[in-house]
Amino acid sequence: MKKIQVPKESVKRLFLYLRNLNYLAQEGRETISSDKLAQDIYVSAAQVRKDLSYFGDFGRKGVGYNVQSLISDIKSVLGLDKKWLVALVGVGRLGSALLNYPGLEELGFQISVAFDIDPKKIGKTYREVKIKDSSQIEKIIKKEKIKIAIITVPVSAAQKTADVLTKAGIKGILNFSPKYLTIPENVKIKTVNIAIELGNLAYYLTHSESEARSFI
């Protein structure tokens, strides 16, 4: 095991390995080789081994990796060995879609509270998640010690929402509004922009000699 900078792409691939491992566990598989683990993800066996080696020696030479223990090792590496409470701000179409998004809990995420400013929505319960008034963001997030939030408000309200969230102690933001959000240095932000994803597709369709496959 070494203590050097881990490539961002290696981290992303860990999620893919984890997904494969979960399938294998379901099938009752006990051990797996890097070669098999790499299958279907368009990655080499050496890449798999290298990625894993950034975090520890998880395999046994001549044998491979134990499926169950590799699952828990990767989960632990990714910080998925505990439950993450998530706050959702903006219960519009996209927001309520996310409340129903399958696979969040699989990785240990639980949207535990949602906020909106629409009086018609406030007070309702959506998929066991209570919708609260946005004016209570700071109070509730502080009280529940929530660290991750999803922003699905209209673009005009996005920056103000980010400000309130960071003030409330949120440390990670998944932002769906197509806009720069200015946030403190110590807060992590990830922006998902669907128009840009489509745009990428358009680029690679236009220049179709290259590739745009992405299995993440």
Partner DNA sequence: TTGCGATTGTAATCACTTTCACAATTATAA
Partner DNA sequence: TTATAATTGTGAAAGTGATTACAATCGCAA
Rounded distance between C-alpha atoms, residue 24 and residue 187, angstroms: 35
CB of 61 to a copy of itself, least distance (A): 28
- Taking phi over 0 as left and psi of -120 to 50 as alpha, with beta for the rest, 90 belongs to left
Query: How many residues sit in the footprint of DNA (CB under 7 A)?
Result: 30
- Region near a copy of itself per CB under 8 A, out of 12-20, 27-35, 60-68, 128-136: 12-20
Rounded to an integer, what distance in angstroms lies between the CA atom of residue 20 and that of residue 48? 12
Helix (H, G, I), strand (E, B) or coil at 216: coil
Binding part of the chain for DNA, among 3-11, 120-128, 134-142, 183-191 by CB under 7 A, reads 3-11
If binding is defined by CB under 7 A, does position 16 make contact with DNA?
no
Please answer whether residues 116 and 106 qualify as being in contact, where contact means their C-beta atoms are separated by less than 8 angstroms.
no
* From 39-47, 92-100, 151-159, 201-209, span contacting DNA (CB under 7 A): 39-47
Concatenating the DSSP letter of every residue in 66-111 gives EHHHHHHHHHHHHT-SS-EEEEEE--SHHHHHHHT-TTTGGGTEEE
Contact set with DNA (CB under 7 A): 1-2, 5, 7-10, 32-35, 37, 43-47, 49-50, 52-53, 57-65
Contact set with a copy of itself (CB under 8 A): 5-6, 11-12, 15, 19, 40-41, 77-80, 84, 86, 92-94, 96-98, 100-104, 106-109, 147-148, 150, 155, 171-174, 178, 180, 186, 188-208, 210-216
